[in-house]
Amino acid sequence: MSEVQTRPAPVANRPATPVPAPELAIAMRGVTKIFGDDPQTTLALLQSGKSKSEVQAETNHVVGLNNVSLDIAKGQIFVVMGLSGSGKSTLIRHVNRLIEPTAGEIIVNGSDVLKMSLDELRTYRRTQVAMVFQKFGLLPHRSVIDNVAYGLEVRGVDTKTRLREAAKWIEIVGLSGYEQSQPRQLSGGQQQRVGLARALAMDTDIILMDEAFSALDPLIRSGMQDQLIELQKSLGKTILFITHDFDEALKIGDRIAVLKDGALQQEGKPEDIVLRPANEHIEEFVREVNKARAIHVRSIMDRGEFDPCAASVSKDSRCEDVLPMFAEHQWVGVLDADGRQIGRVTLKQVIKALARYTPQPAETPPTLG
């Protein structure tokens, strides 16, 4: 990886720290991936400032990722969002090195993934990162329980222990009774639960989820999202989640990064993205989105000491959670994790927040009448 030192400056709004802070689960520095026969020459071209399409027209090489730097803190759900072809699936495969980058640095839990030998890499995959796939990737010739136990089997865990672990996780994802079924006998949602249980059974700190819910029906998808949020709360895992669905990103993400043409467009909290889209591309997403779901009450409330309100919500609630309460109450209190009131919101504030952040008021349809 001699090209590491030649990497260009990172994206402007993300200052790079030379040594990743210890609480980071995953740190990516200037990761670039070029698909083709001669990536190094193309890399120089890309670094001279040409765009993805120019590079592709000139050299017939496809730019998968262009100088992506990300810091993913421990214990959060980090969502990478982008349309198809934006490089998001390429990005997630760099974390467990299913794809080798052309340039850049990837640090996971303090160790440099790219410097690992083949043997170290296998140990790393067996013990530190588990993955859930869009197409499930279940072994069709094994029963559900043997699929869930697969990762532990690869790790060398004895039969009794791994079957016990597998049974436990099958129960947690709600598939009790299906232990001896074959994957093909299950519905898509159930199959993905098997995929999720297989990753959770590994008990790794980091779980990679590549469009894990994209192949599912909307209703089942929503249920899986809720379950994932619940699991993350109770287990405290770091989850890197890939999706093309902005609503999904807003619902489950603690932080969101938006990718386009292999380049990072913006990274931040869901409301940062919704309230301050960095460019037109992101604005397009924001325009379609349910803003009441994206904006947390804590970002619009009046902070300070008020008389206790009759109704209250936690500070992690979103506007859509408090809206119904205004039918009965004038103010809604906002509580911190310990149940103390730290502020309050009014209906006016919520409406202002939803209206103010409509990015281009000129384009909103004229009011009727």
Give the sheet arrangement for strand 331-335, strand by strand: 302-303, 341-346, 331-335, 311-314
Exposed / middle / buried, residue 158 (Cβ in 10 Å: 0-12, 13-18, 19+): exposed
Segment 181 to 220, residues that bind other proteins, using CB under 8 A: 182-184, 202, 208
- 178: contact with other proteins by CB under 8 A: no
CA angle 180, 165, 228 (to 5 degrees): 90
Minimum distance of other proteins from residue 184's CB (angstroms) = 4
Segment 47 to 66, residues that bind other proteins, using CB under 8 A: none
Q: Which helix (H) or strand (E) holds 224?
A: helix 218-235
Segment 140 to 159, residues that bind other proteins, using CB under 8 A: 140-141, 150-151, 154-155
Minimum distance of other proteins from residue 96's CB (angstroms) = 6
Judged by CB under 8 A, which of 1, 9, 57, 139 binds other proteins?
139
Minimum distance of other proteins from residue 36's CB (angstroms) = 17
User: How many residues sit in the footprint of other proteins (CB under 8 A)?
Assistant: 29
* Side chain identity, residue 97: R
Mapped onto helix, strand or coil, the DSSP state of residue 120 is helix
Give the sheet arrangement for strand 111-112, strand by strand: 62-73, 24-35, 103-108, 111-112
Residues 64 and 247: their CA atoms lie apart, in Å, by 24
Residue span binding other proteins (CB under 8 A) among the ranges 69-77, 100-108, 137-145, 225-233: 137-145
Tokens of 313: 């919500």
Residues 275 and 215: their CA atoms lie apart, in Å, by 29
Contact 70, 242 (CB under 8 A): no
Minimum distance of other proteins from residue 164's CB (angstroms) = 19
Minimum distance of other proteins from residue 240's CB (angstroms) = 13
Minimum distance of other proteins from residue 186's CB (angstroms) = 11
Residue span binding other proteins (CB under 8 A) among the ranges 47-55, 179-187, 269-277, 299-307: 179-187
- 126: contact with other proteins by CB under 8 A: yes
- Beta bridge partners, 110, equal none
- 310: contact with other proteins by CB under 8 A: no
Judged by CB under 8 A, which of 26, 28, 46, 130 binds other proteins?
130
Cα–Cα nearest to 252, from 230, 277, 236, 281: 230
- 46: contact with other proteins by CB under 8 A: no
- 355: contact with other proteins by CB under 8 A: no
Contact 231, 60 (CB under 8 A): no
C-beta of 207 vs 273, nearer to other proteins: 207
* Side chain identity, residue 30: G
In the complex, the residues that contact other proteins under the rule CB under 8 A are 96, 98, 121-127, 129-131, 133, 135-141, 150-151, 154-155, 182-184, 202, 208
